[in-house]
Structures are given as C-alpha cells and as structure tokens.
Amino acid sequence: MAMNRIQFQSGLSMPAFLNQFGTEAQCEAELEQARWPHGFVCPCCDFTDASVFRVGSHPTFQCKSCRNQTSLIAGTLFESTKLPLTVWFLAIYWISQAKTGLSALALKRLLGVSYPTAWLLQHKIMAAMSERDAQYRLSGRVDMDDAYLGGELNGGKVGRGSENKVPFVAALSLDEDGHPLYIKIAPVPGFTSEAISAFAKDNLEPGSAVQSDGLPCFAAVTEAGCTHTAIVVGNRKPKEMLMFLWLNTVLGNLKTSLSGAYHAFGFAKYASRYLGAFAYRFNRRFKLDQLPKRLLDACIVAGPCPAAWLRSAEASC
C-alpha cells in the first residue's frame, strides 16, 4: 500500500517534544532564536545590545541605544498572551500531531485551560496554518472537484443543491504516476465560473493541467491560464471514477476529520480556517516528525493578527 509509508513513519514523540520545549526558558530561547537568528536587533534603530527584564510573565528587551522596549512575544502569534509559552507550544504540538484534527474541547482537556482559551488557541494556530499554506500554489496535473461540508449531519438533500451546507472546491496535484502531492481546499460562494476563476487564480500556477467532472463552471480555470479537461461522468458518481480516486479518498478523510467540528459554533463562518488547517497538515504529511517545529515557525512569523484571523468581541488569551 502506497499510504503505509506515511502511516508508519515515526512522528515526534511527546517525551521528545517535552525534552526540547518542556520549560518556559526553552520556549523563550526557541522564540528568541527564531525572531533574532543572529542575536537581538532593535526594531527602531538596529542596535544589537539590550538589557532584558520581565513585564508580566514574558521577557522584554530594552535597547541600550534608543531605550525602545520590545517584548519577546510582540509581533508574533503569541503577542499579548498571558499564557505561558509552554502551553502555546503544547497546543501547537497536539494540533500538528492530530491526524484527524483536534476539537477545541479536546484541546481544553489536554491543556487544562478554559474552553474559550482553547478555542482561541486552536483558531489562532489554524489561522497561522492557513496563512502559511496560502503562500503556495499547485502546478502540473491537478484534479478538481466540488463538494459540501457540514450538511450530512442535518439530514436533507445530499450533493449539489442541498441546504445548510458549506460549498467548497478542492484541487489535488498529482505526480507522474498519479499519486497525490498537494491539496488546496477553499469554501466558495457557489459553483459559478466567477468563483472557480477566483479559486484558480489564488491556488493554481498558470499552465496547470486541470481535470474535473462535467460541471460547467470548472472550465473557468482557463481564465487563470490553466488548461481544462472535463471527464463526463454521466450518471455515475465521481467517486466511482478511477481518475478521481485519490481526490475522493482525501475528501473522505477531510469529512471524517472535520465531522466533530461540524457541531462547533460558527463552523460555516470559519470553514476556510478548518479547511486551511487540514490542507496544511496534508501537504506536510511526509514529514510528521518535523511538523511541530515547522508549525512553531509558522506561528512565529504569522504575526499577531493573521489575515485570516478576525473575530470581534473575543477575550484575549
């Protein structure tokens, strides 16, 4: 089985992670190294010497030239947090290692924090995942499909045209042997040419060779400089078509992974974040042991308010 190589790879064990990031001092050193790889640099005057003291629980650097003060967590995803960095790092570890996704409720229990805090941690980290993955586009051979999330548990009609569902588009790039490489998934306002054109411009390199079923809107990928081949499936469901086997396998995994999240408050509102987090993890599935560290780096550079992150009237965590 081709997938066994992924399923049986060794991840980063909890003891190994705690060995590296089990204390606040270790987490602070990691963050400092990531922010200033060659030592402290004042954001105001570029001076490289500072005195370090603590305001609250996190270190603050005061430039010895201009006396500007910079918190270690300023400008990162952790900005203004009152939580210890060890809690953030553990949240990042759990989210990076959870193959089937992790609910805010599970995170609350694992970390011993309140539910609102767990929700914020989860959503900020998922926003950082989405933001990092948005920097990449698919190229080469790409299979595309339309699907819905969230409606299965509410009953009602299944498939296109059903109610109370989040419509989304998935694109999966394949290697020369037809094995899956990378995925892009995003909610769309509807299955229209405008929506597909916008999705393709955001997510596909010009020149990609897109294959889809016969839904007319998919032809709009040509507006993004891609070629398009429609495979007419007739009365057969796409999942019965061999050429869409991998895409439908991945979409099945996605639905399993998010089935718990369907119940979450605001699932439809935050669908792009759930989808982006799933894609982030899928796209790095060959390097499970490196995932926690890479996700840490993504959180550090994501900034305090990632573009995908907006929710008013939230308490800070």
Residues in contact with Zn ion by the rule CB under 5 A: 42, 44-45, 47, 63, 65-66, 68
Report, in Å, the least distance between residue 82 CB and Zn ion. 26
**Spatial separation of the C-alpha atoms in residues 204 and 221, rounded to whole Å:** 9
Q: What are phi and psi of 216, to 5 degrees?
A: -55, -35
Report, in Å, the least distance between residue 34 CB and Zn ion. 20
Report, in Å, the least distance between residue 71 CB and Zn ion. 14
CB 111 within 8 A of CB 118: yes
Report, in Å, the least distance between residue 51 CB and Zn ion. 12
Report, in Å, the least distance between residue 49 CB and Zn ion. 9
Looking at beta carbons only, is 68 or 139 nearer to Zn ion?
A: 68
- Euclidean distance between the first and the last CA atom of the chain, given in angstroms as a whole number: 44
Looking at beta carbons only, is 66 or 153 nearer to Zn ion?
A: 66
Looking at beta carbons only, is 36 or 47 nearer to Zn ion?
A: 47
Looking at beta carbons only, is 34 or 41 nearer to Zn ion?
A: 41
Angle between helices 115-133 and 291-302 (to 10 degrees): 90
User: 171: number of CA atoms within 13 Å, CB side?
Assistant: 29
**Spatial separation of the C-alpha atoms in residues 314 and 80, rounded to whole Å:** 14
Report, in Å, the least distance between residue 69 CB and Zn ion. 10
Residue 4 in tokens? 């066994």
**Spatial separation of the C-alpha atoms in residues 122 and 312, rounded to whole Å:** 16
**Spatial separation of the C-alpha atoms in residues 312 and 317, rounded to whole Å:** 14
User: 250: number of CA atoms within 13 Å, CB side?
Assistant: 27
Residue identified by tokens 């929506």 is 195
Among 93, 83, 92, 85, residue whose Cα is nearest residue 113: 83
Report, in Å, the least distance between residue 31 CB and Zn ion. 20
Report, in Å, the least distance between residue 218 CB and Zn ion. 54
Looking at beta carbons only, is 9 or 51 nearer to Zn ion?
A: 51
Looking at beta carbons only, is 61 or 78 nearer to Zn ion?
A: 61
Looking at beta carbons only, is 45 or 305 nearer to Zn ion?
A: 45
Looking at beta carbons only, is 29 or 45 nearer to Zn ion?
A: 45
SS3 string, 125-150, reads HHHHHHHHHCCCCECCEEEEEEEEEC
Residue 108 in tokens? 């609350």
Among 303, 308, 239, 304, residue whose Cα is nearest residue 271: 308
